Amino acid sequence: MIADIADRLGDVPAYVYDLAALDAHAARIRAAMRGIEVYYAVKANPDPAILRTLAPYVDGFEVSSGGEFDHVSALFPGSRLAFGGPGKTAADLARRPYRFHVESPRELDLLQGDVLLRLNLKAEVDGAALAMSGPFGMDPEMVAACREKPGNARIAGVHAHLASGLDAPALTGLAETIVDHALPGEEVCVGGGMAVDYADPGRTFDWESYGEGLRGLGRDVMRIEPGRAMTAYCGWYLTKVLDVKRVHGELFAVLTGGTHHLRTPVTKGHDQPFTVFGPGGPEEEVTLVGQLCTPKDVFARRVKAALRPGDVVAFAMAGAYAYNISHHDFLMHPKPEFHYVSGMP
Ligand SMILES: Cc1ncc(COP(=O)(O)O)c(C=O)c1O
């Protein structure tokens, strides 16, 4: 249990993954997505225990580098992999995934096997946390040129990942637009991007209505590649309060570890939600920072909490784009411990 790990926590922070919660969450997604293929986007969290927990509930994995391809192939030989991402090297293109996501006509020229053409559409994505515009994929003119000259590849369909942080109606609308660019009988992969609300963790993505919306588009093979909304909830990052002080009127709690272990609040610009294990007391407005020598090392700004040295702070929603996107080696602090448990409070 998380409380036992908090009790024993020393000066080295710990990641705790609740695999039972992840199992239940993945089962719910699988049921809601009946008739839809689900490929987990490994970039969200490639931890082997996480991948093993998800494996029974997914049809395959989306990988975005040769490293991810090799990692997942070693764990699940023969599994279905969709290999995407811009800037593939010759060694990447020589690999043999179930599907390549083609980023450019040049890439298509160099490829063999079954491919999906990655679309870059100027779609309306109001409310998106991140719009994947810029260099990703191809505009409709480039896609048309690829269809005329497929070279040694077989074009199996189209792929797009247009934005992240969207709710089910917005993603269903984008999926309709993507489907309009597919030929009859082609596979359609509409990417990930399901919203996660860090300010209100209880407000989760409506998988049921998204599944219904996607089935309503009537394609034989429809695929999604969720990352964040699959694994964000199962991870916790536990740190200890080292110091509490007021500087120029602002109260700071300095914690072990930092954003070199949990960069998510900095990259997303949010306050990471947390629970405190300690005696409690009157709450004050406090900014939670780590051990790094940079003012950007902030987990949460001016939030209400009762914190004193020795208390343990357990940051929630640290299961996706958390440890694996962080700059671990900056300042050479120790790496965190990792614990895998079944059952949290
Ligand atoms: C091509 C592609 N597919 C899927 C994902 C997963 O997106 P999310 O974690 O928002 O669900 C990403 C994330 O960047 C992506 O680039």
Which residue puts its alpha carbon closest to atom 15 of ligand 1?
Answer: 161
Task: Name the token pair of 136.
Answer: 């990703």
Candidate from 43, 45, 62, 132 with most ligand 1 atoms within 8 A of CB, to mutate: 43
CB 224 within 8 A of CB 189: yes
Task: Determine the atom of ligand 1 nearest the C-alpha atom of 159.
Answer: 1
Q: Is 4 in a helix, a strand, or coil?
A: helix
Residue 97 Cβ < 6 Å to ligand 1: no
CB 341 within 8 A of CB 1: yes
Which residue puts its alpha carbon closest to atom 1 of ligand 1?
Answer: 161
171 CA to centre of ligand 1 in angstroms: 13
Tell me which residue of 61, 63, 39, 15 sits closest to 322, measured CA to CA.
Answer: 15
- Has 189 been annotated as catalytic? no
Q: Which of 199, 232, 265 is the last residue of a domain?
A: 232
What is the extent of the structural domain holding 223? 19-232
- Same domain, yes or no: 184 and 251: no
Which residue puts its alpha carbon closest to atom 5 of ligand 1?
Answer: 192
Residue 164 Cβ < 6 Å to ligand 1: yes
Distances (CA, A) of 143 to 10, 27, 92, 121, 248: 55, 36, 21, 11, 57
- Same domain, yes or no: 241 and 214: no
Which parts of the chain register pLDDT below 50? Answer: 344-345
- Same domain, yes or no: 187 and 86: yes
pLDDT at 345: 40
Residue 116 Cβ < 6 Å to ligand 1: no
- Same domain, yes or no: 264 and 284: yes
Q: Which of 232, 266, 293 is the last residue of a domain?
A: 232
Residue 92 Cβ < 6 Å to ligand 1: no
CB 36 within 8 A of CB 221: no
CATH classification of the domain holding 109: 3.20.20.10
CATH classification of the domain holding 256: 2.40.37.10
- The strand pairing partners of 288, in sequence order, are 253, 300
Task: Determine the atom of ligand 1 nearest the C-alpha atom of 101.
Answer: 1
Task: Determine the atom of ligand 1 nearest the C-alpha atom of 226.
Answer: 11
pLDDT at 126: 66
**Tell me: the pLDDT tens digits for 313-331?**
999 999 999 999 999 999 9
35 CA to centre of ligand 1 in angstroms: 21
83 CA to centre of ligand 1 in angstroms: 12
- Same domain, yes or no: 108 and 205: yes
Which residue puts its alpha carbon closest to atom 3 of ligand 1?
Answer: 191
Q: How far apart are CA 222 and CA 178, in angstroms?
A: 11
Q: Which of 180, 201, 232 is the last residue of a domain?
A: 232
- Same domain, yes or no: 54 and 172: yes
pLDDT at 125: 67
- Same domain, yes or no: 261 and 162: no
pLDDT at 341: 93
Distances (CA, A) of 322 to 85, 94, 234: 20, 30, 11
- Same domain, yes or no: 227 and 258: no
- Same domain, yes or no: 26 and 154: yes
Candidate from 33, 164, 321 with most ligand 1 atoms within 8 A of CB, to mutate: 164
